[in-house]
Amino acid sequence: MTAPAGREGPVVVQKYGGTSVATAERILAIADRIERNLDRTPRLVVVLSAMGSTTDELVGLAHQVSDRPAGREMDLLLSTGEQVTVSLLGLALQSRGIPAISLTALQCGIRTDGVFNVARIRSIDTARIRAELDAGRVVIVTGFQGINDADDVTTLGRGGSDITGAALAAALGAGACEICTDVDGVFSADPSRVPGARLWAEISYEEAIEMASSGAKVLHPRAAEVCMEYDVPIHVRSSFHLRVGTWIRGAASIMERAEVVAVTGDAKIAKFTLLDVPDEPGMAARVFQDLAAGGINVRLIIQSASSAHQGRITFILDKEFVAGARELARSWEAGGVTSGCVVEDDVAKISIVGSRLAATPGLAARMFAVLARRGINIDCISSSEMKVACVISAERLDEATAAVHEEFFPAKETAAATA
């Protein structure tokens, strides 16, 4: 089938986050933005999040009627937020005379596995979307949701609209996946907390994945993983203007490589310590298999010996998983894996991220020295090729982030670099 005149060219996928569609006025502003750029993006797929804090409110409602809401009903409930925004944008575009159609995951064939709340996309049948694009319509798709084999609605985990955008961009062979958000791009620290944060013109997929998984709110790490796998460049940019933001692409095509690309903070974590774990094979396997089976992601693991025959297993996870992990801990106690578990939720994680971290001696030491000078105690440390992370007291996080950022991005130099 040939595309109608003016509707040729690569597909562009644009994802707008919750802040960008928080009110009717903002949805109208997105419609304006799309209208003004229609010449440049003739084959456009738009993926939307729910309005503002809608998803949080829906979670709150569920907990008002149930102590332990079931995954299936929860996902059906949470998926409604995105249905509101896509249909509103569809109406707004149509009322300007722009052909547009809004589609749910069922209508555009986004298939996932059966794990409610944190489902993974398995396949996308793009026939419907392609047909709508060929017919000259802007296609607007609900982010964050999918359909399992039984046609039940699933959701992809909080912030999952980015994953929808990336997966659609990959499946459609899009020229780019644009992540349109409330900041201008990817910064060396959260610009709302660290005023001197530097905006990057480009970073690698690997750097983006590490940043996102260490707490930066730029995009969902799995979105960057999907785009890396399918070699789709990501453009993180503002929804409020048209200036270029940050390109995320393969490391080989990036000109400027920094040792440290970001200082990130994450206060949404909790620390679990399992006491008196017998020093014998199979203990860690049992704990982490159970966590994985419960869809609980663990961010950092430390095992240490406390005596000749017993040890401790400490792990860090997102606060939203604490209740589920506590429940598992009861079964570990009953099963002789641990004598008891200690949960601390007044902790936070600060990380430095960069693809040349491992190759550059002394960077971790500089980070530790900054924390030491401020009298900030380091509770646990973990490091990998591209990241050094320290668990510290949550109340010192902002101060620590600003100080570590100043060490690697001194205000004077940053001002000169951007002048």
* Nearer CB in complex with ligand ASP: 105/313: 105
Distance (Å, whole) CA 47 – CA 166: 10
Asked if 311 interacts with ligand ASP (CB under 6 A), we say no
Q: Do residues 223 and 163 make contact, with C-beta atoms less than 8 angstroms apart? A: yes
Candidate residues 50, 274, 353, 390; the one interacting with ligand ASP per rule CB under 6 A: 50
Binding region for ligand ASP (CB under 6 A) out of 32-40, 103-111, 154-162, 327-335: 154-162
Residue 50 touches which member of Mg ion, ligand ASP, none, C-beta under 5-8 Å by kind:
ligand ASP
359's CB contacts (< 8 A; 6+ apart) are none
| Beta carbon of residue 26, minimum distance to ligand ASP (angstroms, whole number) | 14
Do the strands 246-249 and 234-238 form a parallel or antiparallel pair, or are they unpaired? antiparallel
Distance (Å, whole) CA 111 – CA 81: 19
Distance (Å, whole) CA 353 – CA 209: 10
In the three-class reduction of DSSP (H, G, I as helix; E, B as strand; rest coil), residue 339 is classed as coil
Asked if 233 interacts with ligand ASP (CB under 6 A), we say no
- Which amino acid does the sequence have at 371? L
- Which amino acid does the sequence have at 138? V
Cβ-proximal residue to ligand ASP, closest one:
161
Task: Give the containing element (helix H, strand E) for 176.
Answer: strand 176-181
Candidate residues 18, 42, 165, 215; the one interacting with ligand ASP per rule CB under 6 A: 18
Helices assigned H by DSSP within 119-266: 127-134, 161-171, 205-213, 221-230
Distance (Å, whole) CA 176 – CA 34: 16
How many residues line the site for ligand ASP (CB under 6 A)?
11
In the window 81-110, what residues touch ligand ASP (CB under 6 A)?
81
Distance (Å, whole) CA 312 – CA 1: 63
Asked if 112 interacts with ligand ASP (CB under 6 A), we say no
Candidate residues 16, 116, 144, 409; the one interacting with ligand ASP per rule CB under 6 A: 144
Asked if 122 interacts with ligand ASP (CB under 6 A), we say no
* Nearer CB in complex with ligand ASP: 50/228: 50
| Beta carbon of residue 78, minimum distance to ligand ASP (angstroms, whole number) | 7
| Beta carbon of residue 17, minimum distance to Mg ion (angstroms, whole number) | 5
Residues engaged in binding ligand ASP (CB under 6 A): 18, 49-50, 55, 81, 143-144, 158-161
